Structure 1
Amino acid sequence: MTLRTSAVQESWGPTAVWSCAHAQGEHVKFFVLGSVGVSHGGPVLTGGPPQQQATLAVLVLRAGHVVPLHELTAAVWGESAPGSAVMILRTYVWRLRKLLEGGEPGKTGAQILESANDGYRLAVPRGSVDAVRAEELAAKATRAHAAGELEVCAEALAEAGSLWRGEPLAGVPGPFAESQRSRLAELRLHLLEERLGVDLLRGRHERAVPELTALIREEPLRERPYGLLMRALFAAGRQGDALAVFGRAREVLADELGLDPGPDLRLLHARILSGDPALLPAAASPAPGRGGGLPAPLPAAPSGSAPTSPAAHGAATAGGPARGGAPAGLDGFPAASAG
């Protein structure tokens, strides 16, 4: 894929869009990380009425795969499907094909949204879907971190996070949309936590403090942001504030969940309390032979840390606090599951 800049704000993220070098789906893009829509290279076109958007969302997040009518019916209505569900779905598909006309040079809407056996298949590259692009960038970030390329890692995570334009699948009804909305919201938080963790590894402690503070306000039951904020404050020379963050985490978790902080957060608290020099930036740590240990080495990127494909439409994991035994994030602190 090649990147090009554009002033169209409705494209992938704030200012960047890319063109897919595939024979199919060269111009059409699909959006689910916000309101559901389609773009032919210009403004985003709405996916239609809510249940028609739900139909499009299923086909988009399973692009390249045949979705049988009975699965499409269950995804859009669940157990409350009307008797005329199949006829309604065929009407939605007819409208969506009209919407997709012109999305690929020389192809009709029926060639983009194909009939296949007893169902339909969206015949476009999976990379034309914003959620898939976010997952590709997450995988790129993991590879870059493993290679020690923290700048590339941070850029990939930042670009992935910029693809969100609001609540995923905003206003779309149905059980499929609900499960994907939870999964994609968790994915955004996972990517944000990863980027902030990498920022700390890059020595950007003071710059990370406001963003981590806002994240904790948004998601007060997730333990990982507390740990990241404690690290950032300690590295910025604010040991007392770092310890106060632990106290706030302990109070919130006790009041809301009846739980104590997990073992990783407690261990971090003990290390900050003792002034562990390994938590300081490399330049600030005491040199060897001067009464201090070497800074802790960068942790290896965990295997399997890239988020799952949106084609898998099972229920997402909740965005609860990370506990001991969770996979490590790129910064070494346990990461919550990305679903």
Structure 2
Amino acid sequence: MTVRDLSALFLDSTDRPLPRAARELASAGVPVFPVAPRDKVPLIRHGRGFRDATTNLAQVDTWWRRFPQANIGVPTGAASGLVVVDVDVHGTNGYDALNRADRAGLIAGWEFLVRSPTGGLHLYYPAEPGAEQRSWQAGNAGIDFRGDGGYIVAPPSLRVIDGETVPYRITELATEPARPLDAGRLRGFLDPPRPPRRLPTQMRGQGRTGPMKLANWLGGESTDRNRKLFWASCVLAEEGVPYRDALEAMLTVEQRDFGSREIARTVASGYKRIHGDPRLAGKNSASGAGTARAVVDAAPEDRLASARGL
């Protein structure tokens, strides 16, 4: 099941009852689970919620016989083969940050767009094979990333907004081939960590910061390693440490849940953030961005109205 195949399923399910739509997704190999009617909360509260998603048709039929009005939840990441950028409009208008990310060439590659009932936007991408991309939130930007450990409420699910029943529905299909999203670079752009004013306690008084000093410090950290790695990469870039020296040092902290590919991307993002890396100049900045820009540069109501015929 490709993301393009999924878009066809969503389009076909627009006017179908939720139980039938859930069954068709499961039949096509997309794991599903029931979500509270007209809501976004998993119904399987005695279990593990979205982690109980399945393609077992008997189980799917049982769930939707019990809850015929249940919305359809789909786990994101490796479980389904898709990841989603979720643009919110409550509190912070996520379209502002989405426009900035588009101009920076960071959101190209989406397969289709889904309008949420509240006026937000879901950008669907294929998950990167063999790579874990954990879900994250950039609250100040109004954008979340739904990857491994997350889920999305899928079309044709419904919400009640201001007394009106409004569906999730596809509003735009890409004209360019879909490709995986670099979620780490997007997060670093939307929500860059603020470098602390002083080095970590165990590194003070040791003179000029070296890559192995920072790598040894990072190796002892058990939480938020990606953000700390991004900060360390920025520090090394500011110190004038060659990119390859920094990368070689940081790769020594590779662990099963913190792989070399993620480390390499984060180090490259840190160096590009400070003074640019010649090897990365212009990457993702031209091809593929135009189709997204036509949608996200307009006002929200114009952007979504253009695809109402789908």
Q: TM-score, normalised by structure 2?
A: 0.31
Which structure has more strand as a fraction of its residues?
2
Q: TM-score, normalised by structure 1?
A: 0.29
Which structure has more helix as a fraction of its residues?
1
